[in-house]
Amino acid sequence: MASLKDQLSGLVYSTEHGDICPECREPRDACICAEHADAERLASLDGIVRIRRETSGRKGKGVTTISGIPLAEAELKELAKTLKKRCGTGGALKDGVIEIQGDHRDTLKAELERQGFKVKLAGG
């Protein structure tokens, strides 16, 4: 008899198992893809948080990006929320990089250092 993975190779939903992860072909509640992605991202970090100001691809609007934060996805979301509140502005979390609207490099550097991170201002 074929394994569950072979039986579900093209499925995205099963009445027996519910949603199926397209990456690992496991039921969503048993999927570990997000954990693997977090582990790979954390392994590639050097422990230095980099803050830079970017405008490219944003129609001239500047954002401050924070990368290299050695935290898991859920903790990164909480940190992003805290930093947005501290700056009094909006922002987003995309692929492990926190984006804060506007130029808040000095405020963010002080806040992250207060929280114990080693911070560098990157770029010009």
Shared domain for 76 and 36, answered yes or no, is no
Shared domain for 33 and 61, answered yes or no, is no
Strands (E), the chain: 13-14, 18-19, 48-54, 63-67, 91-94, 97-101, 118-121
Shared domain for 110 and 82, answered yes or no, is yes
Shared domain for 34 and 59, answered yes or no, is no
Residue 38, domain extent? 12-44
Distance (Å, rounded) from C-alpha 120 to C-alpha 49?
6
pLDDT along the chain (124 residues), means of 10: 51 66 77 72 76 83 90 90 94 91 93 92 78
Dihedral in degrees, nearest 10, Cα atoms 10, 13, 17, 23: 50
| pLDDT tens by residue, 13-26 | 656 667 777 777 77
C-alpha distances in Å from residue 111, one per residue of 1, 45, 79, 84, 88 = 57, 20, 11, 11, 13
In a domain? residue 7: no
Shared domain for 58 and 86, answered yes or no, is yes
Model-level pTM? 0.68
- β pairing state of 97-101 and 91-94: antiparallel
In a domain? residue 25: yes
Q: Residue 21 has what pLDDT?
A: 78
Q: DSSP letter for 88, please.
A: T
| pLDDT tens by residue, 67-85 | 988 888 889 999 999 999 9
Distance (Å, rounded) from C-alpha 16 to C-alpha 72?
31
